[in-house]
Amino acid sequence: MRTSVLVVDDELLIRKSLGKVLRSHGYVVDVASTGAEGLEKVGTLRPQVVILDMRLPDTDGLSVLKKARELDPLLQVIIITAYGDVQTAVDAMKHGACDFVRKPYEMEDIVLAVESAARSFKQVSELDLYRRQAWQNYSGEEIIGNSGPMQQVRGLIDKLVRSKATSVLITGESGTGKELVARAIHYRSDRAQAPLMEVNCSSFQEALLENELFGHEKGAYTDATDTKKGLVELCDGGTLFLDEVADMPLPTQAKLLRFIDHRNFKRVGGANDISVDIRIVAATNKNLDEEVRLGRFRSDLYFRLKVVSIMLPPLRDRTGDVELLATHFMKEFSRKFGKGFNELGEDTTQLLEKYPWPGNVRELRNLIERVVLLEEGDKLEADHLPPEMLGRPGHLAPGIDREAAPAAHRGHRRARVTARTTRSRA
């Protein structure tokens, strides 16, 4: 689709010349001679780029800019200013203009500015679409469950997103949905238009994690050929999700604590403090009280993080939720794989409810995905389930390793879950 450009200028010759040149470059062009006419066309034609003269017969360009951006926040506005009128250009950029061109100008300058604005419009449009899709996916609608424990979790999320709390701690066994809750907190809050940055603290060594979080200055170390912004800086105004926070090295814990206390930090190798406004959501499947007792986690950081604490219950304690989740996953994967499953058999539901689910929701989701992929029909029958769920001896549950199996079936919290995907059929 061709980019649409609206030229708002009171001089007929300029409107004609700009229109002719831009059309020759493939743009769809409309024109307006006053601010009022320009705003009307912004509302009706929805152009992607506006070329706006700051001096108009009925109003000033800055007022038109503000109102146009209110009508369409994604609109890219290029300001035409008089030679030497730097302050006007600065004010326009503060109010959302993407570029400015000084008079007298060459047509090539206008064409280059429009090309840049068109690229910017495409980028911000794609980002806006991504954010809206992310909001729909993680706004809380996918947190499924009517059990008492999950109603309490949703109640806490509702209170949290309306609050100004800047630190949240999510705890719970592996596979209970901590990442999903973190995303719901972000996308349902007033920070949703700012970035959500995620980092798994167990994936980095100490120096690399500090660099990932706080960035570095050029020349901070041998390979630091350029300045790099860290995740803390990149998500200014938004949310930083620290997964597996219990695995964060102690020196990095100290730096994170300082940041939480003062809300500023220094890049690695930097001398200047940088201030940001972010919400920190941390998650762990470990017992932090025990980690503190063993000296592996700082008690002061623990207390800073748990300003608001959300404990996600294991699936075995969520009475009635297994059927809801299994039905949801069955329909999701039926759509994905082009299958016709739309119902759980009664025996299937009973078997799923009896199983202890040591891998929690993640294990249930993986099981349903595998069954829908491999089987056919419109009803998910008990015979589609793995042998151990049918009470047949000699088989291990899908995804459970042999050493962990006894603990898993006792509902032990530390059962080890693997990623096996093979399925045995009797």
CA-to-CA distance for 192 and 135, rounded, in angstroms? 8
pLDDT band per the 50, 70, 90 thresholds, residue 84 = low
Token pair belonging to 248: 């964060």
How many folded domains does the chain comprise? 3
Domain membership flag for residue 426: no
pLDDT tens, residue by residue, 185-233: 998 898 988 889 999 999 988 889 999 999 999 888 877 788 889 999 9
Domain membership flag for residue 422: no
User: Are 112 and 185 contained in the same domain?
Assistant: no
Domain membership flag for residue 421: no
Assess whether pLDDT exceeds 70 at residue 360. yes
Domain membership flag for residue 417: no
A 10 A CB-CB count for 248 gives 26
Q: Are 98 and 120 in contact (CB under 8 A)?
A: yes
pLDDT tens, residue by residue, 239-258: 999 999 999 999 999 999 99
User: Are 185 and 266 contained in the same domain?
Assistant: yes
pLDDT over 70 percentage in the chain? 88
Nearest-Å Rg of the Cα atoms of the chain is 28
Token pair belonging to 26: 């493939």
Q: How far is CA 219 from CA 234, 255, 316, 423, in A?
A: 20, 21, 52, 53
Domain membership flag for residue 334: yes
pLDDT tens, residue by residue, 262-314: 999 999 998 889 999 999 999 999 999 999 999 999 999 999 999 899 999 99
pLDDT tens, residue by residue, 101-137: 988 888 999 999 999 999 989 888 877 776 666 666 6
User: Are 111 and 222 contained in the same domain?
Assistant: no
Measured in whole angstroms, the distance separating CA 340 from the mean position of its chain's CA atoms is 32
What integer pLDDT is reported at residue 299 of this predicted model? 96
For the whole model, what pTM was predicted? 0.66
Assess whether pLDDT exceeds 60 at residue 365. yes
What integer pLDDT is reported at residue 35 of this predicted model? 93
Task: Give the mean pLDDT of the chain.
Answer: 87
Which DSSP state fits 2?
P
